[in-house]
Structure 1
Amino acid sequence: MSGFVIAATARLAFLPYVSEDSTYFLIPWMQEFRDHGAAALSGEFSNYNFPYLLLMFLAGLLPVEPLIAIKVASLLGDALLAVSVYALAANYRTIGVSPKLAALIALFLPTVVVNASMWGQCDAIYTAFLVLSLRSLLRNDGRSAWLLWGIAFAFKLQSVFFLPALVLISLRNRYSLRFPIMAFGVWALLSLPPAFFGRSLASTFSVYINQTQEHRLVAGAANVYAWFPTATAEQGRVPALVVCGTALLMTAVAYWRGPDTTERRVLLTITVLAVCPLLLPQMHDRYFFAAEVMALLLLRHKDLFLTPWFFATTGAVVYVLYFLSNQYALPLMLGSVVQCLTVGLLFRALWRRHSGRQELRQPTIGISP
């Protein structure tokens, strides 16, 4: 319990910090709610989807200054993330640590500590639902996996990084096509409420399209395009999409050529969560967040035990660079090299038909209706 108290105390120390995101986006959004109440949902003042805006609106009712209210909403995500990691670790015993310790380690990852309490961001929320979705996949519960992914997608567009793994496992196990339809139905229902306040349907459902208008080829992420800091999205978007698509196809082949064990599902998930922000264009600083958290499942893996530490270290470097206004390109380039090596290790492990001692002693997971 003392560890969780320390985790909470560490977050309290960062609450007064005002990030650029808070200054230019989050605080003005909160002010919209305080000025106009729920009626603010009729406007296009934010490019975040409704579930997060609802949390922001509710937090705005607290008698505290806007910055603190914003961070309270985001810190709820940290608590949810700890619970989800606990639940996943309880079902994936190969992690080698107790569920309680796994949840505590997740809370102490540098990026998790800073994301909500210092930055004011909410990446822990969608990641928590992705963690629960993976838990459902390991339990062979395709319906819950897709529904939980739908909730995650309603919170953040970056949930699509998880989609290749979800689709591949679903195809291999012949899950019903109703499940993805239900998932997108959940996303639609959770996205729809602003339309009831007067916002057009086109505007309501184009929030994520508006998020893809970044003009830079890379926006602070430690990915391969950090080596081309002056390149624009227009110049590199198509080649980057081709490269990423090719890498995902190779990952699919690597997964499909071996048995469909629980461990290989975990490896597939972590790999695609890392490949997407590594190779997609227009990636922001925080987009490896889910991969960092999921990599904790490899803490005691014979060959990949360094993976969580590689992700955590590069994530911390990227965050420091953000708070230094991204003035230094070389550390980001070096970080991208570490990310590439880490993804290479994951791919190599997935490519093997068998994973040696670390492979679970269980038959291939059977086909479910």
Structure 2
Amino acid sequence: MNRAAFAARPGYALAGILVLVVLSYASLLDWRTSDAEWWFAPWVEHIIQHGTRASLAAPMRIAVEGADGYANYSPPYLYLLALASTASAWLSAFGMVKLVAVAGAVFCAGCVWHLLRALAAPRTALVAAAGTLLLPSMILNAPVWGQTDTIWAGLAALVVSFALRGQWAAMLLAFGAAVAFKLQSIFIAPFLLHVVLSRRVGLRLLPLPLLAYAAMMLPAWLAGRPAWELATVYLEQAGTYRWLSMNAPNPWAFVQYARLMSYETGVLLGTGLTVLAALALGVLSLRWRRLEGADLLLLAVTIAATMPYLLPKMHDRYFFLADILAYALAVCRPRRWTIAVAVLIQLGSVGAYVSHLLDFTMGKYLGAMLIGAALLILLRHLALALGLLRAAASDVRPAFVGAYPR
């Protein structure tokens, strides 16, 4: 079948992708990681032994060989483990962890589809969304590692998707739900600030993220966990590690390796720089052109890559949102530079993953350089979109493939 015929029948492409997904995921589900074996699987066993209510009422104390501590993930993840624990007659605790992780990958693909439908043709959106399941960082995060960055990143992608559609209430609710699942969702906050200010979202809608967060914590509160603990669940996580970089592909990996500054100085300096960058991207861009369509997605990609690149104390997985948004931008605006950005960020993330999973130390340093190069490209094209630079002839093309009816 020639290329034109294949493009005319996206069902073939979709079927091919799904076959590859099943084969690749099935072959990797047995991969053992310390997170799954030392923490997540024991959490599931605790839930099975003590019951869901008792496991949600207080942080679970886990003591296994190689690890000793409390379950410090936000309650929504524990809800998913509790749900998976109902399959204890058929799956091991480790298998249930991987089940949740793969379900998160499918959820993320659905969120990417919703985002792509705002900018791309239906067939393109469907096939490309399925393609996210084959992204290297998706495969390494879910079936290999057993992690669920797919869920908070998927919810953050919905923030962008609802913004593109002008659905402000849904946008704010999605943000609150994302933050309730994982604090790293705050990376998209500058984008939210830009949208709220430039679109003049009504003040009456601004409490919605808090309501969504509270709703996500409600089952744990009903189980008996104090409301104050649920409101401050991330404070304990902030002081867990005293490292400027946890294999994150950002400049702090170099600072930490060369011991250029103390931990305290690095945290203070990095946080200050990140806040300034967040304000610049979220507020200063309002002085120029109002961003629409794929240009608004470009802003989201730039923010999602900039925040973990400047922040200290980042982990290897925290560029996952940038991974999927850069991929979505390359699908909606297929240019050489968007494809280059998606590839560079993806390779940068993979470098960080292999630093942890395969103990390939150089991966995070190579990743930092690759993502730094992607950021330079993104900032240049964001300046073009804002009218701060004069566009070259190669930059003057239709903004996106298809359009969401307004």
TM-score of the two chains, using structure 2 as the length reference: 0.84
The equivalent residue for 1:281 is 312
Task: Measure, in 2, the Cα distance between the counterparts of 1:114 and 1:77.
Answer: 13
The equivalent residue for 2:10 is none
Task: Measure, in 2, the Cα distance between the counterparts of 1:256 and 1:74.
Answer: 42
Question: Would the alpha carbon gap of residues 301 and 255 (structure 1) be closer, same or farther in structure 2, given more than 3 Å must change?
Answer: farther
| Corresponding residue to 1:49 among 60, 69, 74 | 74
What letter corresponds to residue 282 of structure 1 in structure 2? K
Contact 2:37 2:94 (C-alpha < 8 Å) held by counterparts: no
What letter corresponds to residue 31 of structure 1 in structure 2? E
Question: Would the alpha carbon gap of residues 346 and 254 (structure 1) be closer, same or farther in structure 2, given more than 3 Å must change?
Answer: farther
Q: Secondary structure at the match of 2:51?
A: helix
Which structure has the bigger radius of gyration?
2
The equivalent residue for 1:121 is 147
What letter corresponds to residue 310 of structure 1 in structure 2? L
| Match status 1:349 vs 2:381 | yes
What letter corresponds to residue 229 of structure 2 in structure 1? S
Q: How do residues 127-166 of structure 1 correspond to structure 2 at under 5 angstroms? A: 127-166=153-192
Residue by residue over 1:198-217, the C-alpha shift from the partner in whole angstroms, topping out at 9 and shown as x without a partner, is: 22222222221122112101
What letter corresponds to residue 209 of structure 2 in structure 1? A
- Aligned-pair distance for 1:233? 3.5
Task: Measure, in 1, the Cα distance between the counterparts of 2:35 and 2:243.
Answer: 17
| Structure 1: segments with no counterpart, 5+ residues | 362-369
Once the two structures are overlaid, the 10-residue window that deviates more, 274-283 or 227-236, is 227-236
Question: Would the alpha carbon gap of residues 359 and 224 (structure 1) be closer, same or farther in structure 2, given more than 3 Å must change?
Answer: farther
Residue by residue over 1:283-331, the C-alpha shift from the partner in whole angstroms, topping out at 9 and shown as x without a partner, is: 0010000100000123213533211101111111211111124x62x33
| Corresponding residue to 1:16 among 14, 18, 30 | 30
| Match status 1:218 vs 2:232 | no
Residue by residue over 1:249-307, the C-alpha shift from the partner in whole angstroms, topping out at 9 and shown as x without a partner, is: 33232464223222221111111111111001100010000100000123213533211
Contact 2:156 2:174 (C-alpha < 8 Å) held by counterparts: yes
Task: Measure, in 2, the Cα distance between the counterparts of 1:266 and 1:97.
Answer: 20
| Match status 1:245 vs 2:275 | yes
Question: Would the alpha carbon gap of residues 82 and 259 (structure 1) be closer, same or farther in structure 2, given more than 3 Å must change?
Answer: same
Q: What RMSD over aligned residues (CA atoms) do the two structures have, in Å?
A: 2.2
Question: Would the alpha carbon gap of residues 302 and 180 (structure 1) be closer, same or farther in structure 2, given more than 3 Å must change?
Answer: farther
The equivalent residue for 2:114 is 87
| Match status 1:195 vs 2:229 | no
- Aligned-pair distance for 1:164? 0.8
Question: Would the alpha carbon gap of residues 127 and 234 (structure 1) be closer, same or farther in structure 2, given more than 3 Å must change?
Answer: same
Task: Measure, in 1, the Cα distance between the counterparts of 2:165 and 2:112.
Answer: 15
Q: Secondary structure at the match of 2:266?
A: helix
The equivalent residue for 2:134 is 108
- Aligned-pair distance for 1:115? 0.8
Contact 2:347 2:370 (C-alpha < 8 Å) held by counterparts: no
Task: Measure, in 2, the Cα distance between the counterparts of 1:332 and 1:345.
Answer: 20
The equivalent residue for 1:308 is 342
| Corresponding residue to 2:86 among 61, 69, 86 | 61
Contact 1:110 1:312 (C-alpha < 8 Å) held by counterparts: yes
- Name segments (4+ residues, structure 1) moved above 4 Å: none
| Match status 1:331 vs 2:346 | no
| Corresponding residue to 2:326 among 287, 292, 295 | 295
Contact 2:295 2:399 (C-alpha < 8 Å) held by counterparts: no
Residue by residue over 1:215-239, the C-alpha shift from the partner in whole angstroms, topping out at 9 and shown as x without a partner, is: 1011111011010225553231110
Residue by residue over 1:170-225, the C-alpha shift from the partner in whole angstroms, topping out at 9 and shown as x without a partner, is: 11110012323111111012113222222222222222112211210111110110
Task: Measure, in 2, the Cα distance between the counterparts of 1:305 and 1:115.
Answer: 22
- Aligned-pair distance for 1:134? 1.1
Task: Measure, in 2, the Cα distance between the counterparts of 1:179 and 1:119.
Answer: 37
Task: Measure, in 1, the Cα distance between the counterparts of 2:168 and 2:335.
Answer: 26
Q: Secondary structure at the match of 1:305?
A: helix
Question: Would the alpha carbon gap of residues 298 and 310 (structure 1) be closer, same or farther in structure 2, given more than 3 Å must change?
Answer: same
Question: Would the alpha carbon gap of residues 256 and 339 (structure 1) be closer, same or farther in structure 2, given more than 3 Å must change?
Answer: farther
Task: Measure, in 2, the Cα distance between the counterparts of 1:22 and 1:111.
Answer: 17
Once the two structures are overlaid, the 10-residue window that deviates more, 330-339 or 148-157, is 330-339
TM-score of the two chains, using structure 1 as the length reference: 0.92
The equivalent residue for 1:360 is 399
Residue by residue over 1:94-126, the C-alpha shift from the partner in whole angstroms, topping out at 9 and shown as x without a partner, is: 9x9811221122111111012111111001111
Contact 1:59 1:73 (C-alpha < 8 Å) held by counterparts: yes
Percent identity (aligned): 27
What letter corresponds to residue 147 of structure 2 in structure 1? Q
Once the two structures are overlaid, the 10-residue window that deviates more, 19-28 or 249-258, is 249-258
| Match status 1:73 vs 2:100 | yes
Contact 1:254 1:351 (C-alpha < 8 Å) held by counterparts: no
Residue by residue over 1:71-105, the C-alpha shift from the partner in whole angstroms, topping out at 9 and shown as x without a partner, is: 111211111112222222122129x9811221122
Task: Measure, in 2, the Cα distance between the counterparts of 1:133 and 1:194.
Answer: 25
What letter corresponds to residue 100 of structure 2 in structure 1? A
The equivalent residue for 2:288 is 257
| Match status 1:272 vs 2:272 | no
Task: Measure, in 2, the Cα distance between the counterparts of 1:181 and 1:189.
Answer: 13
